[in-house]
Structures are given as C-alpha cells and as structure tokens.
Structure 1
Amino acid sequence: MRWRMRRAGSDDASALSLVASATFLETYATVLEGADLVAHCLKNTTTDVFARWTTDPATIVTIAEHEPGHAPIGYTVLTAPDFPFETRPSDIELRRIYILSQMHGTGLGAALMARAREDAAAFQRERILLGVYEHNYRAHAFYERQGFTRIGARQFMVGTTTHNDPVYARDV
C-alpha cells in the first residue's frame, strides 16, 4: 500500500474527525462500552476539536492519506502535555496516533511515529510522552518497539468510565 503524510490544516478537520472516530471505534468496539465509545467520539473527535488543533501554533497535526485518491487512513496529534504529574518544558505529548486496521503491518504506524519525532525535534522538544489504554497490548508492544518506556500512569475518561492508563516516554 502507498500513502503520503502531510501537515494537516483547518480544511482537513472534517476528514480528521471521520478517521479519528472510525479508528477509535475500530480499536475499542470490542473492549469498551458502546455508550462510552459514542460519548467519547462525540466529545473528542469532532470537526471543531480538529479545527482548533490545526490552527493552534503549539500543536502539530499530521494526516496520512492513501494513494491514489487521498482518503484519510491515519493521523497524529502532537500538543502540549496534559498529565497529572510534572512534565519538562521540553516535553511534547503525542496525544493521538491512529491508523485504520487495514493499514496495520504496512509500516504506516512506524512512519507516522518517525514523522512525530521529526516534528517534535523541529519544535525543539526533547522528549515525547504518550498515554495508552491499559489493555491495548498491541499498542504497548508498538510503543516499546519504538523505544518508549513506561514512566507513570494517569486516569483517562472514556465516556463515564475511568481507566488507569500507563504513560510512556522516549527521547526525541
């Protein structure tokens, strides 16, 4: 499969919203409550959320598109850290990294992660932090292969359910 990655702009907010909801539902439909999934998507994967992120100078949003045709197939969001513990001024959070499951095993996830590291370095950040659902073992393994190590935990709400998610970090 072929893809391209590029910095997303505000005109990509609708496409990002669609792929964000699709990938979140696809990833968690069999492990989380349906009402919680829907509530999470309606709050956190909206066009407005992505419009804000793509126009925030402190946030980097990358969209991955299938070639040919440029259908959205994945994305990342790098932004100021939001964790319940003290972070360094040189930290950045990889708030989101998702790809459609049909892209698993193609190298797109690793390519998006490499791009996130490049973007973090361009923003003069030294460390990337990320939180991950406690039972998403595939993601844990991916992050560990990418050089991330666990540094803590945080509580994360999906709908009305609180999850205790590990937090990972790696130097840029």
Structure 2
Amino acid sequence: MENIKISRAAIEDMETIQQIGRQTFFETFAESNTEADMKKYLDGHFSQEQLSTEVNHPDSRFYIAWEDQSPIGYLKVNTGQAQTELQDENSLEIERIYVLSAYHGKKVGQLLYEKALEVARLLKKSSIWLGVWEENLRAIKFYTRNGFVAFDQHIFKMGDDEQIDIMMKKRL
C-alpha cells in the first residue's frame, strides 16, 4: 500500500501506541480468552506506566504504521536487556507486530516486519526471534512464510491463564 508510512515512535506517541495495542490485542485474542483474563492483561500491559517504561527503554524501539494521518499498526523490537527471554546480544527480538483487523491482508504487517529486518541489519544482528501463541495460526503462517523456524516454546501468562508460545527464529 503506497499510502502507508512507518515512523519511529517517541514518548509523545505513547497514547497512540496504547490505543492501537489495546484495540489490536482485543480484536485478536478476546474471542479465545475470558473477559477477566483479557481485562487483567490489557490493564497491566497497556497501562500508561508500563508503556512509558517500554517506550523509554534504551534497548527498545517502536515504529508506527500510518495510513495518511491514521495510525493502523505498530512494531516493537528489542535488543540487549530489553529482550523478553533470549537476551542474545547478536539477536533482535520482535516483541509485537500489531495491525488493526481492518488492515489484515493489506501488507501492513509485512511492511512492519521489513522495518524490523532493516533495524536488525542496521544494528548488525545475526538473527531475529519472537514468540507467537501456538493457537495464532495466522501469525505462525506469516512468520513461517518469512523464513522463521520454531526452536523452542515458553509460557505466556494471559491474565491467570498460562498459554504456550512457540519461539521462532530467523538467521540473517
């Protein structure tokens, strides 16, 4: 989509990140989780305090996808100590690629993924890794199509529910 622009986010963009994050997470996972678990997760992970900490972390970067003046998705990548699990100095973690459901199938996720690749290459990383819920078949297919392979799994806490994330990695 030629109208899509991706820009690096700053603390001034925190409310935009919060709005997109809450909406896309709800759109994607509410149907598969209890209302209580969803509320607990959204309140904890998308609070202003939590997002402020994340946006200000020196080893994390956020990028927002815009269609004209409307935010339609975002990317969060981590290096060093900001990585949620591996903390491999030679790797970049894609923690989030979130796209509003109205834009699924319109290559916005692919553009955000390509931004992650660009950042990884700029930072001279040898691999990219991520965790994806085992039941999110759409995302697993997307990452597999982009050359990722499963290498492990971990527990993802969704409210009070422990779920399995497949960890996937791509060598650069």
Q: Which amino acid aligns with 1:23?
A: T
Matches within 5 A, 1:3-152: 3-67=4-68, 70-79=69-78, 80-83=82-85, 88-152=88-152
Please, what TM-score do these two structures have when normalized by structure 1? 0.92
Q: Distance in 1 between matches of 2:66 and 2:47?
A: 19
Contact conserved, 1:36 with 1:158, CA < 8 A, in 2?
A: yes
Question: Gaps (5+ residues) in structure 2?
Answer: none
Q: Distance in 2 between matches of 1:145 and 1:171?
A: 14
Stretches (4+) displaced over 6 A? none
Secondary structure of 1:124's counterpart equals coil
Q: Deviations over 1:62-82 (max 9, x none)?
A: 111121xx2221111111322
Please, what TM-score do these two structures have when normalized by structure 2? 0.92
- 1:87 CA drift (Å): 5.2
The total of aligned residue pairs comes to: 168
Q: Deviations over 1:88-140 (max 9, x none)?
A: 32112111111001111111111100001111222222211110111010010
Q: Distance in 1 between matches of 2:167 and 2:63?
A: 22
Q: Distance in 2 between matches of 1:124 and 1:53?
A: 22
- 1:55 CA drift (Å): 2.1
Q: Which amino acid aligns with 2:57?
A: D
Q: Distance in 2 between matches of 1:87 and 1:42?
A: 26
Provide the identity percentage: 29
Query: Alignment RMSD, CA only?
Result: 1.4
